[in-house]
Amino acid sequence: MFVLEFKIKAKAQQYQAIDDAIRTAQFIRNKCLRHWMDNQGVNKYDLSAYCKVLAHDFKFAGELNSQARQASAERAWSSISRFFDNCKKKVLGKKAENAVLGSPQVKQFSKTGYPQFKKFSRSVEYKTTGWKLLSPKTINFSDKKGIGTLKLKGTWDLGHFNESDIKRVRLIKRADGYYCQFVLSVDIKEDVNPLGKVIGLDVGLASFYTDHEGNKIDNPKFLRKSEKRLKRLQRRLSKKKKGSNNRRKARQRLAKAHLKVSRQRKNFAVKLARCVVTSSDVIAYEDLRIKNLVKNHCLAKSINDAAWYQFREWVEYFGTKFGKITIAVSPQYTSQNCSSCGEIVKKSLSTRTHVCACGCTLDRDENAARNILKLGLSTVGHTGSKAWGENASTLMEEILSKQAVSVNQESFSL
């Protein structure tokens, strides 16, 4: 799937119609969730059929396109199925001990895992009906919400794609305006020539990442740099009277500031991931469990600000697009093991230099990056290539010879 996003230019009444459609989608999603809670054995298809009942009982629900109603029901079922999966996998904190799925005990489940009602939805999704492209930069919504024709502002040209390739259309409300997303089912792969290079990456807080050759990329720390302004805007918001226009404006200013930080972080991750993937044929990185790392409250803010997982997602996306090999390896002992002799050298987080009895002295992160690359290449070597250390050049030749087939090895848990 490939997502294109445009900013919407419309009249005030059209923006109000979009807000109405978003509220209706939220209402249907919450009603479907309540229907599942009150009736045992309800499945995905029952929720889809329930949308027709809601359209009959509530006039404003019937004004929304039928497939948009179904998409809202699918969102409800998505949260339900995710909850069931967590229960079956016995994910900690997702269910009460010895609870049975579908039983009255389900109400004992913790709030972190049990599906919750939405209070502030910001999007409505249409499938293949209820909209039509009038031109590459104009779209018309034909349901009874009265959204009408919207102008699209952006650099992408939808004229390069067939309308049948567009599987979903989303209208999204953000702090700085309204946006329209197109979800396309197209082939995103591009043919590139092998470069004969590999890279191992060790992410960190002092540097965003360090590769196996010792090259470092500084951590931009977008949230830390904007924290002073965010706190000031938050203080101003807290002083405004609830329900007043001044409070609404202060809240919007704060939301825009947070949105800017989010976009800076995403822009950095996209550009850096593309640079890494296009400059190497094999990329090895750690399979980090961010959820566990942020339990350290002293480092949680910095870890979230670094956005390692977002960077990994884009590395894997560009790896698929350009036919490169991306490998997530286990992070255990990558910092403690010596990359030269393999001996374990215990060190705390404050120890930034790796010193081994064999004479190997390296930066801690560079040593970890070398270990990550070794593990990554040995993982690919299991397909028939020689392991790292026996004949590295032969291994590289065999890896690059397989690049006719796009290999994107992802971990099953993150």
Tens of each residue's pLDDT in the chain, 414 residues: 788 999 999 999 999 999 999 999 999 999 999 999 999 889 999 999 999 999 999 999 999 999 999 999 999 999 999 888 888 877 765 443 444 444 444 444 444 578 999 999 999 999 999 999 999 899 999 999 999 999 999 988 888 888 888 999 999 999 999 999 999 988 778 888 888 899 999 999 989 999 988 899 999 999 999 999 999 999 999 999 999 999 999 999 999 999 999 999 999 999 999 999 999 999 999 998 888 888 888 889 998 999 999 999 999 999 999 989 999 998 888 888 888 888 888 888 888 888 888 888 888 888 889 999 998 888 764 433 322 333 333 334 444 444 433 334 333 333
Of 117, 152, 184, the residue at which a domain comes to its end is: 184
| Residue 208 in tokens | 């965003």
178, 11 contact by CB (below 8 A): no
- What is d(CA 116, CA 253) in angstroms, rounded to the nearest whole number? 28
Query: What is the pLDDT, as a whole number, of residue 249?
Result: 95
Are residues 316 and 170 part of one domain? no
- What is d(CA 320, CA 242) in angstroms, rounded to the nearest whole number? 49
- The beta strands (E) that lie in 161-312 are given as 166-174, 177-184, 198-203, 207-211, 216-218, 282-286
Q: Is residue 136 part of a domain?
A: yes
Q: Is residue 61 part of a domain?
A: yes
Are residues 213 and 163 part of one domain? no
- What is d(CA 396, CA 152) in angstroms, rounded to the nearest whole number? 46
Tokens 């593309």 label which residue? 274
Query: What is the pLDDT, as a whole number, of residue 267?
Result: 95
Are residues 267 and 167 part of one domain? no
Of 184, 216, 239, the residue at which a domain comes to its end is: 184
Structural domain for 253, as ranges = 198-409
Which residue from 216, 185, 211 is spatially nearest to 198, judged by alpha carbons?
211
Q: How many domains does the chain have?
A: 2
Query: What is the pLDDT, as a whole number, of residue 261?
Result: 95
Are residues 292 and 151 part of one domain? no
Are residues 206 and 106 part of one domain? no
Q: Is residue 414 part of a domain?
A: no
Residue type, position 225, single letter: K
Are residues 202 and 180 part of one domain? no
